[in-house]
Amino acid sequence: MNTVYLSLGTNIGDREANLKLAVKLLMEMPGINVKAVSSIYETAPVGFLNQAAFLNIAVRLTTALPAAEMLSACQQIESELGRVREIRWGPRIIDLDILLYNHENIETESLIVPHERMFERAFVLVPLLEIAKEDTAQLLRAQQALQSMDLKKEGVVQWKQSGTAEEFVRSVN
Ligand code: GSY
């Protein structure tokens, strides 16, 4: 079984509902077992700054799916939520990024793992480290990267505390 960490982000529409629906769809996917969902964080936009604040979470799951199929599953959920390929760094209904897939380093045309920019982004690292379970070199690197950041300056604030994955999706429409 493979352990996978995802980062989810949204800054259009009912942001909490977008996250809940995405996690519900993940839980319903054959071959995917959602183990933990982080607190929800409200985060200042990174990249293109003139846009609404994001809500971000991280998800830990186990899966029998190979990395390429896990990517397809994420893209399927993005389309189900109505995401169209928008401007780079711009507003989005939902983004599901694979951060880590076991301890593996993967580099294909469509997928780079660990995620290319994850170690520079507090909005990724804070939720990730809240649910991280293993002591892998990648997670230790994430911890070290976060220690050198000023979270106030990075604009990452806990918005709703986490419970279980089942509690997270309970009130989804
Ligand atoms: O990379 C994911 C989309 N995204 C985000 C995000 O999820 N959160 C914040 N705070 N800024 C972002 N900029 C982009 S692009």
Helix (H, G, I), strand (E, B) or coil at 61: strand
Please state the rounded mean pLDDT for residues 32-48: 96
Quick one: pLDDT at residue 30? Answer: 95
- Distance (Å) from CA 89 to ligand 1 centroid: 7
Q: What is the model's pLDDT at position 134?
A: 86
Q: Is 83 annotated as catalytic?
A: yes
**Per-residue pLDDT band at 60 (split at 50, 70, 90):** very high
Q: What integer is the mean pLDDT of 74-93? A: 81
Q: What is the pLDDT of residue 139?
A: 96
Name which CATH class applies to 2-161. alpha beta
Mean pLDDT within 137-158: 94
DSSP string covering 131-154: H-----HHHHHHHHHHHTS-HHHH
CA of 45 to the centre of ligand 1 (A): 6
Q: From the candidates 14, 15, 60, 83, which is the catalytic residue?
A: 83
The C-alpha torsion from 151 through 162 and 139 to 19, rounded to 10°, is -90
- Across 138-163, average pLDDT: 94
Which residue CA neighbors atom 9 of ligand 1 most closely? 45
Cα–chain center distance at 105: 18
Question: What rounded mean pLDDT belongs to the chain?
Answer: 93
Ligand 1 atom at minimal distance to the Cα of residue 44: 10
Q: Within 6 Å (CB) of ligand 1, which residues are found?
A: 9, 43-47, 54, 56, 89, 95, 123
* Domain residue ranges in the chain: 2-161
Q: What's the pLDDT tens digit per position in 88-134?
A: 777 789 999 999 999 999 999 999 999 999 999 999 999 999 999 88
Among 14, 15, 88, 92, which one carries the catalytic annotation? 92
